[in-house]
């Protein structure tokens, strides 16, 4: 019989420890695991390495809560609202280590982990950029078949992946709507996967949804029913982006006096 993987968010997040690598699903301001990020902040986790294709409010608030040592991402910001305040200050001040990624380098690294191979080859055209100059781990080599110049992108295994799903069943199977980013790769690349979902439904209902099952429960460790768990970011078709709330966040994150009040209020459910 397939296991019932339902959990509370607090219990699921007990898998996140200081110093771990944590991959966050979603993209920019869409389907981000904001409630989970607030739970991590409330637990006062420290020295995390965050991995995300594009970082948004969930990434920035974790930086502002002093949880993050290093970030691997190809973009971090609040889209139309502008810069991500805590990220921008931390990089400028040198208090956050930033590992420059591109969409290709990060997706190749995760796919290599999923395939259980040490690296995947990337076309040598990336040498036309400055990425190889700041990424000593990208190793140039010549293809043994064609002689073409390539770069080896090392596999990236992560400790914990956290996604927010449009719906899931109790076994951890997930339906994702909208921009999928790297979410279908993260669970298989992680030792532990936590899914928060707008709602938990029967498997038959999940299969009938647009896209059906996009993350198999075999890769999911914990599934948490968390209606609104992506807010203020969107989660189609149930939640639209709450732009006013993102603007309020940006105002608070740019105000040294207002920020602790915003964070304490947002973490109130975990008190």
Distance of CA 240 to the CA centre of its chain: 19
Residue at a domain's end among 154, 171, 197? 154
Are residues 22 and 88 located together in one domain of the fold?
A: yes
Are residues 135 and 149 located together in one domain of the fold?
A: yes
pLDDT tens by residue, 72-118: 999 999 999 999 999 999 999 999 999 999 999 999 999 999 999 99
Are residues 96 and 180 located together in one domain of the fold?
A: yes
Are residues 204 and 223 located together in one domain of the fold?
A: yes
pLDDT of residue 49: 98
Are residues 72 and 179 located together in one domain of the fold?
A: yes
Cβ-contact 175, 217 below 8 angstroms: no
pLDDT tens by residue, 178-213: 889 999 999 999 999 999 999 999 999 999 999 999
How far apart are alpha carbons 120 and 151 in whole angstroms? 8
Q: What is the mean pLDDT of residues 150-162?
A: 98
The number of beta carbons lying within 10 Å of the beta carbon of residue 216 is 14
pLDDT of residue 1: 58
pLDDT tens by residue, 229-256: 999 999 989 899 999 999 999 999 999 9
Half-sphere exposure of 213 (CA within 13 A, CB side): 20
pLDDT tens by residue, 41-58: 999 999 999 999 999 999
Identify whether 237 is preceded by a cis peptide bond (ω within 30 of 0). yes
Cβ-contact 85, 91 below 8 angstroms: no
270 falls within a domain: no
229 falls within a domain: yes
Sheet with 68-73, side-by-side order of all strands: 97-100, 68-73, 48-51, 21-24, 158-165, 190-197, 222-225
Q: Which domain holds residue 80?
A: 9-102+155-265
pLDDT of residue 178: 86
Residue 259 pLDDT class (50, 70, 90 cuts): very high
Residue 269 pLDDT class (50, 70, 90 cuts): confident
Q: Which residues contact 256 (CB under 8 A, 6 or more apart)?
A: none
pLDDT of residue 128: 93
201 falls within a domain: yes
Q: What is the mean pLDDT of residues 13-20?
A: 98
How far apart are alpha carbons 36 and 140 in whole angstroms? 38
Are residues 127 and 66 located together in one domain of the fold?
A: no
Residue 271 pLDDT class (50, 70, 90 cuts): low
Are residues 170 and 210 located together in one domain of the fold?
A: yes
* pLDDT, averaged across the chain: 96
Residue 2 pLDDT class (50, 70, 90 cuts): confident
Are residues 62 and 80 located together in one domain of the fold?
A: yes
pLDDT of residue 270: 79
Cβ-contact 47, 18 below 8 angstroms: yes
108 falls within a domain: no
Are residues 126 and 222 located together in one domain of the fold?
A: no
């Amino acid at each position: 019989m397939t296991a019932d993987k339902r959990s509370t968010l607090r219990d699921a997040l007990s898998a996140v420890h200081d110093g771990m690598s944590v991959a966050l699903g979603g993209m920019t301001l869409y389907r981000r695991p904001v409630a989970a990020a607030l739970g991590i902040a409330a637990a006062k986790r420290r020295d995390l390495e965050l991995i995300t294709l594009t970082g948004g409010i969930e990434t920035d608030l974790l930086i502002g809560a002093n949880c993050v040592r290093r970030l691997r991402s190809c973009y971090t910001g609040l889209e139309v609202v502008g810069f991500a305040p805590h990220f921008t200050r931390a990089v400028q001040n040198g208090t956050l280590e930033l590992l420059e990624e591109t969409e290709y380098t990060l997706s190749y690294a995760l796919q290599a982990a999923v395939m259980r191979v040490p690296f995947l080859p990337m076309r040598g055209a990336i040498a036309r950029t400055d990425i190889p100059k700041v990424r000593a781990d990208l190793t140039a080599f010549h293809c043994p078949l064609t002689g073409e110049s390539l770069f080896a992108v090392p596999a990236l295994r992560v400790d914990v992946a956290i996604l927010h799903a449009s719906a899931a069943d109790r076994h951890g199977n997930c339906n994702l709507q909208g921009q999928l980013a790297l979410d279908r790769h993260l669970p298989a690349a992680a030792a532990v996967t936590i899914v928060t979902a707008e709602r938990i439904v029967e498997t038959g209902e999940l299969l009938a949804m647009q896209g059906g099952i996009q993350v198999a429960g075999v890769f999911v460790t914990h599934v948490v029913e968390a209606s609104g768990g992506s807010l203020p970011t969107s989660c189609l078709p149930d939640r639209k982006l709450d732009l006013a709330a993102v603007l309020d966040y940006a105002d608070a994150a740019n105000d040294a006096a207002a920020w602790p009040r915003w964070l304490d209020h947002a973490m109130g459910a975990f008190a």
